Amino acid sequence: MKLKFATSNPHKVEEARLVLEPYGFELDTFPHKGTEIQEEDVIKVVKYAADHLPAQEGIGLILEDSGLYINALDGFPASYSSYIFKTLGVEGILRLLEDSSDRSAHFDSAVALKFGNEVRVFTGRVYGHISKFPKGSSGFGFDPIFVPEGYSMTLGELSIEEKCRISHRGLALRRLAAWLRAAEDECPSNQ
């Protein structure tokens, strides 16, 4: 199956290629990322966007949305993470947490696959906490302040390979790839 990633974010494409390549899937980009609704749940965001993208003959379209959910901020910024990153930035989030002893958080990812008119959604979650200071220059968005559970480094300090092994997006993409592999095994004539 040919796969195209509907996103304008080159970092997401790089991570998706790294995760999907071992499964034998090649990934191109698709110039439209779909219509995003204002909704805290990343699953609803990608499902809506996928439902409203035109089907591509013989091509699976992938869409992904992620959200950072900080417990002390009642789940904020949720699926609005990209917008909040552009407006408040890393320092703005750290200021909001200055007096908080609870720095626990998680990242959620939802990856939608649209093939024809069918849409399937695969999810991933990684737990961790928000660091006191930004560390690392790898990754993007809030990676420099998110420390995954069991790690002492932020996602911004990890190599892209290590990040993809443990991240919310990597998990969702591996679930997608495993489902595609199983579907191919059931229908060998599609190969």
Token code pair at residue 98: 């200055």
Evaluate if residue 178 carries a pLDDT over 90. Answer: yes
Summarize pLDDT for 37-85 with one digit per residue, the tens: 888 899 999 999 999 988 888 889 999 999 999 999 999 999 999 899 9
Q: What CA–CA distance (Å, rounded) separates 5 from 16?
A: 8
Residue 188's pLDDT is 53
Task: Tell me the chain's radius of gyration from C-alpha atoms.
Answer: 17
Q: Are 169 and 64 in contact (CB under 8 A)?
A: yes
Instruction: Pick the catalytic residue from 28, 65, 74, 143.
Output: 65
Please choose, from the candidates 161, 158, 142, the residue with its C-alpha nearest in 3D space to the C-alpha of residue 150: 158
Amino acid of residue 80 = Y
Which domain does 133 fall in, by range? 2-190
Instruction: Please give the backbone phi and psi of residue 13, each rounded to the nearest 5 degrees, phi first.
Output: -65, -45
When divided into structural domains, the chain yields a total of 1
Q: 73-87 as b/e, with b when 16 or more CB fall inside 10 Å?
A: beebbbbbbbebbee
Evaluate if residue 185 carries a pLDDT over 80. Answer: no
Q: Are 65 and 45 in contact (CB under 8 A)?
A: yes
Instruction: Please give the backbone phi and psi of residue 73, each rounded to the nearest 5 degrees, phi first.
Output: -105, 25
pTM of this structure? 0.91
Where residue 32 falls among pLDDT bands split at 50, 70, 90? confident
Q: What CA–CA distance (Å, rounded) separates 128 from 4?
A: 31
Evaluate if residue 186 carries a pLDDT over 90. Answer: no
Where residue 191 falls among pLDDT bands split at 50, 70, 90? very low
Mean pLDDT of 121-146: 96
Active site residue 65: yes
Amino acid of residue 136 = G
Residue 9, domain CATH: 3.90.950.10
